[in-house]
Each structure stands twice: as structure tokens, then as C-alpha cells.
Structure 1
Amino acid sequence: MSSRRNFLKKAGAAGALGMAGLSGCIGDFGEQAYGNGEINFMMSPTEPQDYMRSQYKPYAEYLEEQVGTTVKLKYAADYSAVLQGLGSGTADIAETGPFAAALGVKADKANIALQRHAYGSWDYTSVIVTKKDSEINSLTDLEGEKVGFADMTSASGSLYPLYMLKKAGLTIGEAPVSDSGADFTGVWSGHAEAFAALENDQVAAAGVGQFITLGDDGEVADGYEYVKTYDGIPRAPMVVSPNLSEQEQTDLVDALQNAPESVYNGADGEGGTDDDLWFDSVREANLETYQPVIEVANELDLSTDLLNQG
């Protein structure tokens, strides 16, 4: 899995999420829906578009075989676009982040269907990381400093880092919508970009998912250290459109739960290569699974309005 982290670090330095403007990236989705004979599978823009298409190609092909319906992979402009598509019925199933999914359920735009498993667990860790040679020894040392974050609706790369900063006594102001009124200067981009900004000394610390900070040995990369960590975040879900019939939702869930190991190996069909999916299995889930994320969102006074920002 470390190859993914290395790939994303390089992509981040080049502006991985900036690829959202490429051909094939969408804010408004196609007109076909599952009920009309086509499944639109939406990918959230957490990694470069071509990379994600390569990752999900066998996944989509397997789903197509199992359900007997054409499956099209779509790359969304942002988390909000994913939920807009699901809510309107022009998207049928999507992979997205925990917080975006929770907001989607709250706004009646999505139903949580599956939870993903990776790195040996069903949950993961958010970190605030800095360089070992920095003068940042505690979260309070970040007062007046510049801090990098992932997408504003990312659980591990924005919400939980902000929650940790707030619990440490720092004022977060209007974050993550902006850093107005905050005790620090916030910069929101993506996991890869935020860690690359730290690497290039553009920020004093980065709030990201732990996965982006790991070296080949599974430990924090050389030269870096964690200021604070938060464990137990439920791994990112897959969600379906509430416009699908109960049978259509069940068909999708059953098919993906029973998917063979080969669908996780990416377009080259070989495990342990750069185009492997970052997760290795899924299990059925619901809103209760993501209650911890909802509680953090409530602590930060966040609502579905956040999806209309940016």
C-alpha cells in the first residue's frame, strides 16, 4: 500500500486535485440512471482522474457482469457534485468520504451502503504531522502558523484535525469554510498536496489521513513526526442513490460484498502494483456506522451548507 502513498505525494506536488478540470470530470452528470438501464459509478476526486479510472476499471467490469447492466465510471468535480448526482438520480453508486456521506444522508441525497476495509482494519487515523526539526511540539504551538489540510469535507484531512485543534484550545473560527477568526492560517487542498506543502516548508504542519505520511516500512516517513493523532475513524463508505429501488440497492450491495480479490488489483490485474485499489474488501454498513463522524461534525457546528462552499 505504501506505493499509493508515494504516488500521491508526487501527484500532490504537481497538483493532484487540480486534475478535476480535465476532460471527463463532471459537476452535472449524464442523463442515464440505473432505472434507465445504466449504472453511473461516481468517483470522488481524491486522486488523479486517470489513476482512479485505472484502479476502478476491473471493479466496474465485475459489477457490470454481476448486475447485467452497463456501468460507467464518472469522475466528479468535488464531494458536493457526487451528492448532487446521487440526490437527483443521475448517479447510482459512489465512493466518497465519511463526512460527505453523512451529510448526504442528512440531506436525503444518499444512502450509506458499504464500508471499506484497508490496511488490516475497518477504521483509520487522522494526524497532524510536522517535521522533526520544526519548533512545533504541541498543537498550541500552531497558533499564528500556517496549517495545511485536505479537502474541507475530508474527515481525516480536515474535520478531525480541526476537532483536535479545537480540543487543544485553539479557536478555529469559520473553518473549514475559511480560516476567518481562526488562531492559525488554514490552507485546504488535498491529502497529497497538504503533505507536499509540509515537505516544501510551505506550512508548519499538515492535518491529513495517516496513510499519506507512511514510509515503505509502514511507519511515519523519515524526518516527520506526529503532533497529535486521532484513531478509530470509520473507513470511507460507498453510498447509493435514494432514488434506486430497494431491489436495485440490494443487487449492488450483494454484488460488491461478494467481489473476488482480483477486482482490487487494478487494470493491470496484478496485486502489489501502483494501480491497486487502496481497499481490499467491503461490508454492509449504515448511518450508525458513521455516527462518530456525525458527532465531530456537530461539535464543529457543521451542516450540509458546507457542501455548497469552495
Structure 2
Amino acid sequence: MRDRRTFLKRAGALGTAAVIAGCTGGGDGTDTEGGGGDSGDGDSGGDDSGGDSGGGSTETMSGDDGPAATFGGDGEINFNISPSVPQQQLQVQYAPLRDHIESYVTENYDTPSGLEASMNIGSNYSAVIQALGQGTADLAETGPLAAVVGNQTGNSEIILQRFGYGGWTYKSLIAVPNGSDISSVEDLEGKDVAFSDPLSTSGFLFPVAAMAEAGIDIGELPEGNGSQAAFTPRFAGGHVQSYTLLEQGQVDAAGMGGFVRDTSTGPTPDAWQDVATTLHEDSGIPRAPIVVSPQLPQESKDAIQQAFLEGPDTIYYGADGEEGTDDDLWFGDVREATIDDYQLVVDKAETLGIDPSFFE
């Protein structure tokens, strides 16, 4: 097993001023997988806004109205959204959820006066792990692998799993252009392959693990730029972006969440069939979690968790309040979860040499 102890250090250094809540459970797998699915893995994209504000803690208000809950020193509940969610869709998709969290926490818990909930779009998976660990973010949506990284390093804590596109699990796939002479995973040796982000579950972990299991040398991935691998990796910054590189003929194959193929996020299913063929598929991946900062008091973690668990269906319907319209969130329910619910992801990470000691 190769020594990958430096990977997490690299991940933590990627976005000091950036914040992200990554890959989703979007689409058929969102690894955050966000609005429309590409936040299924919570993979990259988006701008570098927000996130590194605040920090520290406020004094707990005293009173007899209920449990006390405190958050960052900036007087806000900082909720970080996957960069795969376009900036222009942030408010219309997530505002009802943001408003519910704010009202639920302030109405049911003893909180500092004027406490509000804010939303920011970040830049990549590693940045959200750092922000949660530093306490500059309070909660985030992220992908399973990023959540595992955060848990193993003590930078984040899984509290919820999301339900979307009809299930609690999703798919990852490797696709090639129609008519390609690539007929097996082994044939990817020496080829250009697109991935979403090095901390994407369906857009990197499962596809590259399949290549390694097929006997292809993956070099030092997920560290570095992949120059030592027996193929050329291209990190596109998102699942749909990986598909676009494939569609444009810039790569020979692409790893992505199954939602790109099976929903209308990016191409329609019919348009996908006109362009791509599935070479390899993994299923049963637990859908993306909601995570919180370990620096939060337990009462604050509980407050966030209960806000989701007791939220009405309308918090998932977007700004128009109507189900089945363009501003709906990709997920429509949550349930309690811990790191134990993501053991499949932990096991797959270990096949690449990413074991618990690697995160020390």
C-alpha cells in the first residue's frame, strides 16, 4: 500500500480562503451530488465566494425557553453550498431551506439575538473540509468521499444522509464516445480520461478505483496531477463538465455520477444516448450527506439536524413553493446518518491506499 499521508495536507491547502460544501447526492448520484444533480458529488465549479468569514464562538444566551445553540462569531449560521450549483440558482433553490433553518433554530433554541442563516458557494471539496475544521463554516452539503476525509481528519461530522431521484443510493460510471474502440476498462491505459474532482466520489473515486482494479497504474493519484499514472487524467471541475469534454472529443473517456446519464442535468437522457456509451458502472453508493463543524456545541449540531428532520416538504420546492418545477432541490428528504453509513466509500478509498492512517 502506497504512503499517501501528504494527500490530506495538499487537500487542506488547496483553498485557504475558499469554502465549499461539495458533491451530492445530485442526480443519480450525487455526490452533492445541488440544484439539478451536479451537486451530487459536490464537485467543483462555482465561484470563490464566502465562507472564510467569522470564526470563534459567541456567548450562549441564557434563558428558559429551550436548549442553547451558538454558532460562528459572525452572528450567522454559515451554510456552504456545493459550487456545482450555479450562482444564479442559489437563492431560488436553497432560500426556503435556508429560511427554515434560521426560523427553526431561533424559535426552538436559545440563541444569540439577531442570529441569521447565510449561504455561500465555495470552490472545491478540500476547501469545505478546511472551513468546517476551522469553524468558519457551520454546516455544508458535500459528497461522500469528502465527508469521509473530513471525518477521518476530525474536520467535519456527518449528521444526515439525503434522499434523491427515488433512492438513498446512486451510481457512478465511466463513459466513452459512441463508436469508440475502447471496449473494456483495461483499454483506458494510455488514454485521456476526465474526472470531476479528486475528492469526488462518483466522479473520481469509483471510476479510478475500477481502473486500478483492472490493472492500470494510477500513479500517485489522488495526489499530484497524475503525471505518474498510465493514463492522462483531466479534472473538469464537475460531472457535467466531464461529460462536456467527452462530447467535445477532448477526452477518450469520462468518469461521472450516473445522474448525468439518467436525468436531464446536463444532457437529456436521449441526448446522452446520441453521444456516449457506458463502459463501466458502480451502484449502491450512499447518497451525499449533510455535515457540520466539529467545533459546534452538541446543542447546535442537534439544532441543525432537527431543523432538517422536522422540515416540511416545501423546503425542497424552491422559491416558487411548487413541487416539480425548475427550482426544486435535487433531494427531497433526509435521515439521520453517521460515518458508519458510508463504509462502502471508506472501503473503496482504502483500495487506493487512502486508509485512516493516511488522514493523520
TM-score (norm 2): 0.76
Cα distance, 1:17 vs structure 2: 4.9
Secondary structure of 1:179's aligned partner:
coil
Q: Which amino acid aligns with 1:292?
A: L
In the alignment, structure 1 residue 111 sits paired with structure 2 residue 111: no
Structure with the higher fraction of residues in helix conformation = 1
* Per-residue deviation, residues 207-238 of structure 1 (Å, max 9, x unmatched): 00000122558688222221000111111100
Structure 1 residues 59 and 304, CA, compared in 2 at 3 Å: closer, same or farther?
farther
1:291 correspondence with 2:337: no
Equivalent position amino acid for 1:225 in 2:
T
Contact 1:175 1:182 in 2 (8 A): yes
Q: How far apart are the structure 1 equivalents of 2:37 and 2:132?
A: 30
Of the three residues 231, 246, 252, the one matched with 1:198 is: 246
Give the distance between the partners of 2:194 and 2:105, measured in 1 at CA.
42
Query: What is aligned with 1:132?
Result: 178
Alignment partners' CA distance in 2, 1:234 and 1:8 = 18
Query: CA 1:238 to 1:8, structure 2 compared with 1: closer, same or farther past 3 Å?
Result: closer
- Within a 5 Å distance, the mapping from 1:18-97 to structure 2 comes to 18-21=45-48, 25-26=49-50, 28-31=52-55, 34=71, 36=73, 37-68=75-106, 69-97=115-143
Q: Give the 3-state SS of the residue equivalent to 2:47 in structure 1.
A: helix
Per the alignment, do residues 305 and 60 of structure 1 end up closer, same or farther by CA in structure 2, a change over 3 Å counting?
farther
Alignment counterpart, residue 102 of structure 1, candidates 148, 164, 174: 148
Shift of 1:270: 2.4
C-alpha distance after superposition, 1:234-258 (max 9, x if no partner): 1110001111111111111111012
Change (3 A) 1:185 1:105: same
Amino acid at match of 2:134: S
Give structure 2 stretches of 5+ with no counterpart: 1-25, 58-70, 107-114
Note if contact 2:150-2:157 (Cα within 8 Å) is conserved in structure 1. yes
- Partner in structure 1 of residue 187 of structure 2: 141
Give the counterpart letter for 1:213 in structure 2: R
**Cα distance in 1 between the residues matched to 2:203 and 2:281:** 11
2:248 is the alignment partner of 1:221: no
Max radius of gyration: which structure? 2
Listed as ranges, the gaps of 5+ residues in structure 1 are 11-15
Question: Are the aligned partners of 1:215 and 1:221 in contact in 2 as well (CA < 8 Å)?
Answer: no
Aligned to 2:62: none
Q: CA deviation at 1:31?
A: 4.0
Give distance in 1, aligned partners of 2:227 and 2:213. Answer: 18
**In terms of mean alpha carbon deviation, does 123-132 or 261-270 score higher?**
261-270
Give a deviation string over 1:275-295, Cα, whole Å, max 9, x none: 211111000000101111111
Distance 1:220 1:120, change over 3 A: farther
Point out the more displaced range, 41-50 or 62-71.
41-50
* Same amino acid, percent of matched pairs: 40
- 2:309 aligns with 257
* 1:89 Cα offset (Å): 1.6
Greater shift, 83-92 or 220-229, is seen at: 220-229
1:230 counterpart SS class: strand
SS of residue in 2 equivalent to 1:182:
coil
Deviations 1:80-110 (A, max 9, x none): 2212221122211110111111111111111
Q: Give the TM-score of the pair, scaled to structure 1.
A: 0.87
- Specify the SS of the correspondent of 2:290: strand
Distance 1:76 1:215 in 2: 24
Which amino acid in 1 is paired with 2:54? G
Aligned partners of 2:296, 2:119: CA distance in 1, in Å? 18
Match of 2:167 in 1: 121
Match of 1:13 in 2: none
Compute the RMSD of aligned alpha carbons: 2.8
- Asked if structure 2 preserves the Cα contact closer than 8 Å seen for 1:115 and 1:283, the reply is yes
Alignment pair present for 1:172 and 2:218: yes
Conserved 8 A contact 1:27-1:78: no
Contact 2:218 2:226 in 1 (8 A): yes
Cα 1:295/1:220, change in 2 over 3 Å: farther
CA, structure 1 residues 306+100, in 2 after alignment: closer, same or farther (shift >3 Å)?
farther
Q: Indicate conservation of the 8 Å contact 2:51/2:80, yes or no.
A: no
